[in-house]
């Protein structure tokens, strides 16, 4: 059985091809790295190249295994969207695998295990698992302060692929086992076990496991409050972005010691509307707006979209220059569209050739 596995949860993602064997093991054919954390432009072509290199077509894929999180919001959305699209076309099953799960198994310890991954801002993703016979049953996964792990000595075995975390904990007298960084081959191994056990999901039920911080939405709201040209939304509107059943809305978020910028768009048949976009004040004029827009256009083009459109305040010359740089053309005007202060909206559209 041919399995395609993908992990786009962090800066160094990868895809893998593997043969799933009836005895529950997996023969990995090849692992291909996806460097840089910007996967939207390279993921689908890399998948096609990997299949072609080994004499396969996409129709030869029997099942998919994908890292569902935790990790980068944008990276996870890119990877899951690609797998969802292929699985829908091919009508093949998907096994979702938590990165914390594969880390717990990589420790080689049976019984209660606490797997730990870097989350930034002095926090870590921590997953408590019961490990037996190369399978792991999740007890809970959460986001906690790294310092709080210093009080866990004498508890579950602690496993992490992060050298800095292991060194910090050992220095505080906590027993921590450092394991190699886990890639998509490990996702393939655990995914195949789940496929054999019938633990799969349909494309429409595929969702990411973000383990989001409770203050992320507050950070996005604060960012747009100080970006006077952004759309000002309610908390409920932002919560809908992260909702599991929002398959036709996409968000890109740039995180660097906190949320530095975001773009939200929704699909309307073969068209995409950019609904909101904001970049923090200190991060402006550093290319983040260009990066967000370029990433999104790659995503939209990859879905088969024919056109992208948006509205922008007439006075927002910087944003208008950015859109025109990406070949958007002015398509109309909406009188008095904006309030606080009242202002006309200029509509722009971009048609994909």
Span 193-250, pLDDT tens digits: 999 999 999 998 888 887 765 567 788 888 888 776 677 788 888 777 765 444 467 7
Task: Enter the CATH code of domain 101-178.
Answer: 3.30.420
pLDDT, position 244: 45
Contacts of 210 (CB under 8 A, 6+ apart): 69, 70, 73, 76, 242
3-state helix, strand, coil in the chain (%, to 5): 35, 35, 30
Nearest to 186 by CA among 127, 134, 239: 134
Q: How far is CA 257 from CA 7, 209, 261, in A?
A: 23, 21, 12
In this chain, the answer to whether the domains covering 2-97+182-205 and 101-178 adopt an identical fold is yes
Assigned fold of 2-97+182-205: Nucleotidyltransferase; domain 5 (3.30.420)
pLDDT at 37 over 80: no
Are 307 and 327 within 8 A, CB to CB?
A: no
pLDDT, mean over the chain: 87
State the CB neighbour count (10 A cutoff) for residue 100. 28
- pLDDT tens digits for range 317-349: 988 999 999 999 999 999 998 887 789 999 999
How far apart (Å, rounded) are the C-alpha atoms in residues 284 and 191?
41
36 vs 150: CA distance, rounded Å: 32
Q: What is the C-alpha to C-alpha distance for residues 155 and 176, in angstroms, rounded to an integer?
A: 11
CATH superfamily of 216-351: Gcn5-related N-acetyltransferase (GNAT) (3.40.630.30)
pLDDT digits (tens, 9 = 90+) for 76-129: 888 888 899 999 999 999 999 999 999 999 999 899 999 999 988 788 999 999
pLDDT value at residue 209: 83
Domain ranges across the chain: 2-97+182-205, 101-178, 216-351
Q: Is the pLDDT of residue 17 over 70?
A: yes
Is the confidence at residue 251, as pLDDT, over 80? no
């Amino acid at each position: 059985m041919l399995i395609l596995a993908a992990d786009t949860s962090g800066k160094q993602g990868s895809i893998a091809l593997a043969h799933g064997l009836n005895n529950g093991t997996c023969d990995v054919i090849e692992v291909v790295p996806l460097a840089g954390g910007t996967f939207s432009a390279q993921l689908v072509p890399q998948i096609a190249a990997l299949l072609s290199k080994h004499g396969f077509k996409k129709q030869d894929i029997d099942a998919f295994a994908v890292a569902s999180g935790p990790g980068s919001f944008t990276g996870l959305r890119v990877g899951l969207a690609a797998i969802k699209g292929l699985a829908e076309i091919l009508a093949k099953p998907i096994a979702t695998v938590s990165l914390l799960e594969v880390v717990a198994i990589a420790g080689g310890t049976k019984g209660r295990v606490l797997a730990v991954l870097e989350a930034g801002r002095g926090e870590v993703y921590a997953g408590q698992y019961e490990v037996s016979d190369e399978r792991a049953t999740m007890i809970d996964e959460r986001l906690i302060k790294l310092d709080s792990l210093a009080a866990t000595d004498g508890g579950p075995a602690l496993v992490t692929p992060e050298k800095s975390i292991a060194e910090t904990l050992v220095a505080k007298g906590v027993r921590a086992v450092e394991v190699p960084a886990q890639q998509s081959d490990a996702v393939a191994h655990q995914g195949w076990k789940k496929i054999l056990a019938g633990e799969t999901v349909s494309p429409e039920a595929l969702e990411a496991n973000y383990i989001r911080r409770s203050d992320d939405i507050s950070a996005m709201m604060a960012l747009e409050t100080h970006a006077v040209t952004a759309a000002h939304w309610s908390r409920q509107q932002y919560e809908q972005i992260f909702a599991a059943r929002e398959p036709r809305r996409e968000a890109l978020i740039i995180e660097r010691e906190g949320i530095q910028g975001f773009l939200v768009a929704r699909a309307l048949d073969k068209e995409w509307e950019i609904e909101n976009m904001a970049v923090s004040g200190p991060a402006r004029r550093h290319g983040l707006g260009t990066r967000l827009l370029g990433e999104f256009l790659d995503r939209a083009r990859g879905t088969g979209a024919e056109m992208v459109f948006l509205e922008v305040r007439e006075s927002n010359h910087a944003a208008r220059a950015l859109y025109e740089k990406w070949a958007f053309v002015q398509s109309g005007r909406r009188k008095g569209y904006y309030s606080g202060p009242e202002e006309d909206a200029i509509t722009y559209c971009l048609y994909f050739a």
